[in-house]
Structure formats: structure tokens, C-alpha cells
């Protein structure tokens, strides 16, 4: 059997908070129906994660992982909400990509932080949406500096793709999965 494994790291947007599904679930369905391989995605996301917490957690996840050469990373919404220092955000992101390259990953698909749809939410305000662009610039810089990284843009997700300011609805999970699937199939 021809198969492909994908490790999916991220925060609550990857985990599937607020919905029954998650984008890695839909990603597997799409790839299984549109390629000749049997795909399996492992959702390694945790609610509340930042790039810093992922950087600390990554060695434990990788210690038990074999036969995985693709990864998806969708993280950063909590960094925007917490106003993580931009330089440190970029350095943690850059080092995460470096570790994955050193550990033999062939392609790491990095999702930009999706739009934030503020509606009076204290943590994800209109100001957070304005800050999001600066964090996405840092993600683009880290991706550009790493040979195995590929950028996945998510700016076209509308408010209907979210059930609150940052968490994807089922429609949003499917749309995010479609974006990652296109990037993977173009590899």
C-alpha cells in the first residue's frame, strides 16, 4: 500500500476547538479522494499553544515519530492575542522549521494566521486583527529562509468560516483543509 503520513501541529485552530471536526480530518479525506495514496494525519495540536510552547513540546513529539515526512503548521493566533514579541515569535518559528528539516521532514506547509473577526471579544479585538499582518510577515520570512517550508495563505477565509473571532466553523475547517491540500498536491 502506498501511504503518506502528515503531522499537524498548531493551536486550537488546528485542534478543532468549538467544532466536532478539525482541518486535519478534512485534509485526510480530501487527499485520500484526490491522490493515489492512503493518507493519515496526526493532530498534534493543543488549545492555547503559542510558537514558544510548540518549540518546547516539539522534541517530545518527534521522539516517538517515525515514517513521517510531511508536516502542517498552523499556529500564531494566541501569539497575536498575547502580543508575543515579534522578534522572538519569528525566532521560535524559524527554529521549529529548522528542527523539522534536520529531523528529515521533506515538506512543511506553514499556514498564515487566518483573519480575526472581532466582535467585541476582549482577547481577539480589532487591534489584534491589525497586529496579525506583522506576525504573518514574520511567518513568511521564516518560511523563505527554510528550504523545506511552503507557505499556505489563508487570507480569503470570510466570517462565515468562523464560529467566533478565531475558531473555524466546520465550513472553515474544510476550507483550511482545501488550502493545505492544494499546497501538498502541488509539491
Give residue-wise pLDDT tens across range 43-91.
999 999 999 999 999 999 999 999 999 999 999 999 999 999 999 999 9
pLDDT at residue 88, as a whole number: 98
Quote the pTM value: 0.96
Percent of the chain with pLDDT over 70: 99
Q: What are phi and psi of 73, to 5 degrees?
A: -125, 120
Q: What is the DSSP string of 72-127?
A: EEE--HHHHHHT--HHHHHHHHHHHHHHHHHTT-SEEEEEPPPP---SS-SSS-HH
- State pLDDT tens for residues 98-119: 999 999 999 999 999 999 999 8
Domain containing residue 23: CATH number:
3.40.50.1110
On the question of pLDDT at 125 being above 80, the answer is yes
pLDDT of residue 122: 77
pLDDT of residue 6: 98
**Contact in structure between 128 and 81 (CB atoms under 8 Å):** yes
Instruction: Determine phi and psi for 161, rounding to 5 degrees.
Output: -85, 0
Per-residue pLDDT, averaged over 20-39, amounts to 97
What Å distances lie between residue 58 and 46, 96, 157, CA to CA? Answer: 12, 8, 28
The DSSP result for 47-63, as a single string, is: TT--HHHHHHHHHHHHH
Q: Which residue has the higher pLDDT, 122 or 148?
A: 148
- Parent domain of 149: 3-185
Number of domains in the chain: 1
pLDDT > 60? residue 1:
no
Tell me the mean pLDDT in the region 128-145: 97
Point out which residues pair with 43 in neighbouring strands: 8
Would you give the distance in Å from CA 58 to the centre of its chain?
14
For residue 182, the model assigns a pLDDT of: 98
Amino acid at each position: 500500500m502506498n501511504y503518506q503520513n502528515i503531522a499537524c501541529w498548531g493551536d486550537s485552530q488546528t485542534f478543532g476547538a468549538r467544532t466536532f471536526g478539525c482541518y486535519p480530518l478534512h485534509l485526510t479525506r480530501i487527499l485520500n479522494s484526490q491522490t493515489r495514496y492512503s493518507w493519515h494525519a496526526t493532530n498534534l495540536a493543543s488549545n492555547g499553544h503559542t510558537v514558544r510552547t510548540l518549540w518546547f513540546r516539539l522534541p517530545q513529539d518527534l521522539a516517538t515519530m517515525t515514517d513521517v515526512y510531511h508536516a502542517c503548521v498552523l499556529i500564531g493566533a494566541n501569539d497575536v492575542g498575547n502580543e508575543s514579541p515579534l522578534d522572538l515569535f519569528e525566532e521560535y518559528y524559524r527554529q521549529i522549521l529548522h528542527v523539522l528539516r534536520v529531523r528529515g521532514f521533506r515538506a512543511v506547509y506553514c499556514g498564515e494566521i487566518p483573519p480575526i473577526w472581532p466582535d467585541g471579544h476582549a482577547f481577539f479585538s480589532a487591534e489584534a486583527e491589525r497586529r496579525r499582518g506583522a506576525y504573518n510577515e514574520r511567518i513568511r520570512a521564516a518560511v523563505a529562509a527554510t528550504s523545506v517550508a511552503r507557505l499556505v495563505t489563508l487570507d480569503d477565509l470570510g466570517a462565515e468560516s468562523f464560529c467566533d473571532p478565531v475558531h473555524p466553523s466546520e465550513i472553515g475547517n474544510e476550507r483550511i483543509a482545501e488550502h493545505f491540500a492544494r499546497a501538498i498536491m502541488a509539491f
